Amino acid sequence: MSRRLNSTLLFLVFALAAAAAVTVSAQMRYYGARSRVEPGVLPEKRTGFTFCRLAYTSMRRENGGSGWDTDFPMADENLMIRLSELTLSDITRFDDEAPAHAVVRSTDDVLFQCPFLFASDVGTVGFEEEEVVRLREYLFKGGILWVDDFWGTRAWREWTREIGRILPEYEIVELPMDHPVFSTFYFVEGIPQIPSIQHWRRTGGGTSERGSDSAVPKMYGILDEDDQLLVVMSHNTDIADGWEREGEDFQFFHSFSPYGYSIGINMAIYSMTH
């Protein structure tokens, strides 16, 4: 059966679990708290995909963001849950079967045990020189970094300056829709603009968090000489809020979560197969 992303088909799949989503979300907020994950420590037994989040120091603040822990920890946990439900992929779990994710800094030795690394609100980041060196080494050893939830011209300028310190010899390119990352599992035909749920509620359904300065969501990449992705950038969209907030509002879930998960699941599988 075709896996082309059809909103009705994918919505039906998610609707089967939607009734339990609020309960699961509430439970995970209770026993999946921030203290559950010890920074710089990976689960001892990794039996499948492990969501690794990059912790960093913010040099400035973006409206609506909180730095490296934006959308944490529910986005990380929920993507792992949906990956295990909607594909045949195994995920790493704690002893009580909750998804076992990780938080790492670029200076942590366990960084190199994370083939997939995610960072949010990167328009605020400021890397130390040691972090620049370590992230460059990580990417050249086969790791992939996905950055999300940074909006408008200023955040783009700040982020591209920092990634330019890490990979100065590579250019940033817009990823065409025929790139494999858009068809690794689901066939994604367009980049969704997913706002924070707070912005969506405050504006009566608006999606562009910086107005005309962030009107068009795009995905960019940095590729090596073999056209393998080193870095993926989802700009003018908050893909992870579609995971984090799936159980809070049915209309938000219906409007954004299936599309956010299609890209998230594709990225997870891509990181495990390339």
Mean pLDDT of the chain: 90
Residue-wise pLDDT tens digits, 9-42: 455 455 445 444 443 443 343 334 455 798 999 9
Tell me which fold the domain 7-273 belongs to: Rossmann fold (3.40.50)
Residue-wise pLDDT tens digits, 139-189: 999 999 999 999 999 999 999 999 999 999 999 999 999 999 999 999 999
Per-domain residue ranges for the chain? 7-273
Residue 229: name the closest of 138, 167, 142 by CA. Answer: 142
Calculate mean pLDDT across residues 4-13: 51
The reported pTM is 0.90
Calculate mean pLDDT across residues 108-125: 97
In the sheet that holds 144-150, the strands lie side by side as: 102-105, 52-55, 116-120, 144-150, 229-235, 218-223, 173-174
